[in-house]
Amino acid sequence: MTDSLSHLYFSSFQAARRLARAPAREPEARLHGHGFQLALSLPSPLVPYDVEQADEKTTLSPIHPSAERWHTQIAEWDHQSLNDFVAHPSDLRILQTFVKTLDVSGHEMALSSMPDRGVRKDEQGNYFAWRSYRFESAHQLPNVPPGHKCGRLHGHGFQAVIHIPVTHAEQEWNSDYHQLDLAWAPLYAQLHHHYLNDIPGLPNPTSEWLAVWIWDQLKEVLPALSWITVFETASCGGHYDGMKHRIWKDFSIDSATEEAGMTFGHTWTLRLNLQGQLHPTFGWAMDFADVKREFEPLFRSLDHQPLKEVVGLVSPDSAGLARWIRHHAHLVLPQLGRVDVLDGCGSGASLDWGAGGIQVLAP
């Protein structure tokens, strides 16, 4: 797989709506409001990455014209009634309207109407609905090396995110979320406030095996199930699509940058996405602690630093950081297949060279 660079844009707006086709018992049938979140991924051409020329710093990446248009569109809808713009404004129909208006049918885009639900479109034009569910559970990993902290009994506030294809393109209310709620309820009863190791099929409940277990339980009632995401903590977890595993680990750096002669800074979020086969004993693709340890020297090179002084960093922006990490991390983290970088101000970049399949706009 060749390197693929995308620029990411995030924005939000407040709006009211009423879904008249929803069953009368559903709150969505009444006038109500949301804080909507939107994400857009736009591909960017890759120029050769020449570390030897890194002292010739480039300017920050310009805003894509489609991103400019979508900010205008959001401003028109902010604090309005969506029924004035979209007939039967379900999450799907709102997203479809943005896609058509902005002419971004070949790009990824996502919309969330609440923090725990949303829809997204991939580059091929497929739409997916997702719901996020939290459960509080205890577990321990019995096969880890002696002294590993995860071998001790402990607990997490887990989060499971379930993705399915949208049922039909003319959906007039958010029925997919209700379908997911019904499918999840029996699993929640087994997982919440329980000891995961006691559940049949979970003797070694790593994030990866927990994702497999959830997949196996849901596949019978959701035959079109697309993938499962399991957050072990807010900064790490795993994806499973029925065949492949991918894990991620987040890092936060507080660094200074420059633009148009002004010096300022960001709290950047770096997400490392790694793929691999599950270890037959440990049950993980890679230990999150090992990811942290191997990345630590590179992290120290970026954190609490003026980015213009980082050796080899061609441009002090999200895309530049992603490419710098790609160039320097492949030797210590060969499983690394994608780097996502967010600047905290509604934009970022994603550099993918081996992860594929499960994209950045999914939670």
256-290 residue pLDDT tens? 998 778 899 999 999 999 988 899 999 999 999 99
The CATH number that applies at residue 55 is: 3.30.479.10
HEC letters along 87-105: CCCCHHHHHHHHHHHHCCC
Catalytic-labelled residue, pool 88, 150, 208, 245: 150
Beta-carbon contacts of 27 under 8 Å, excluding residues fewer than 6 positions away, are none
Q: Which domain holds residue 125?
A: 4-352
- Asked whether residue 95 is domain-assigned, the answer is yes
With beta carbons less than 8 A apart as the criterion, state whether 348 and 30 touch.
Answer: no
* Kind of pairing between the strands at 154-165 and 236-240: unpaired
Enumerate the H helices of 158-251 as residue ranges.
Answer: 175-191, 207-219
Catalytic, 64? Answer: no
Of all residues in the chain, the percent with pLDDT exceeding 70 is 90
Residues 228-252 pLDDT 10s: 999 999 899 999 999 999 999 999 9
Residues 328-349 pLDDT 10s: 998 899 999 999 999 988 899 9
The pLDDT value recorded for residue 73 is 86
Q: What is the separation of C-alpha 337 from the centre of its chain, rounded to a whole number of angstroms?
A: 15
- Asked whether residue 362 is domain-assigned, the answer is no
Indicate whether 16 pLDDT > 90.
yes
Catalytic-labelled residue, pool 28, 108, 208, 232: 232
With beta carbons less than 8 A apart as the criterion, state whether 143 and 281 touch.
Answer: yes
- Asked whether residue 243 is domain-assigned, the answer is yes
Q: How many CB atoms lie under 10 A from the CB of residue 185?
A: 10
CA geometry: angle 24, 38, 172, nearest 5 deg = 25
Q: What is the mean pLDDT of the chain?
A: 89
Indicate whether 59 pLDDT > 90.
no
Catalytic-labelled residue, pool 79, 154, 168, 193: 193
The pTM of the full predicted model, rounded to 2 decimals, is: 0.90
Beta-carbon contacts of 61 under 8 Å, excluding residues fewer than 6 positions away, are 7, 44, 315, 317, 318, 319, 349
- Asked whether residue 357 is domain-assigned, the answer is no
The pLDDT value recorded for residue 241 is 93
Tokens of 336: 């690394």
Q: Give the dihedral of Cα atoms 101, 105, 107, 112; nearest 10 deg.
A: 60
Mean per-residue pLDDT, 86-103: 92
Indicate whether 363 pLDDT > 50.
no
Catalytic, 136? Answer: no
Mean per-residue pLDDT, 172-182: 91
- Asked whether residue 112 is domain-assigned, the answer is yes
Indicate whether 158 pLDDT > 90.
yes
Q: Which of 58-62, 71-75, 121-125, 350-354 has the lowest mean pLDDT?
A: 58-62
- Asked whether residue 360 is domain-assigned, the answer is no
Return d(Cα 337, Cα 4) in angstroms, integer: 11
Mean per-residue pLDDT, 75-100: 94
Tokens of 26: 């559903």
HEC letters along 5-69: EEEEEEEEEEEEECCCCCCCCCHHHCCEEEEEEEEEEEEECCCCCCHHHCCCCCCCCCCCHHHHH
Please count the structural domains in the chain. 1
Catalytic, 88? Answer: no
Which position has the higher pLDDT, 58 or 308?
308
Residues 201-216 pLDDT 10s: 999 999 999 999 999 9
Model confidence band, residue 56 (pLDDT cutoffs 50, 70, 90): very low
The pLDDT value recorded for residue 45 is 75
Phi, psi (degrees; rounded to nearest 5) at 304: 55, 50
Tokens of 216: 């196996």
Phi, psi (degrees; rounded to nearest 5) at 74: -65, -40
Indicate whether 17 pLDDT > 60.
yes
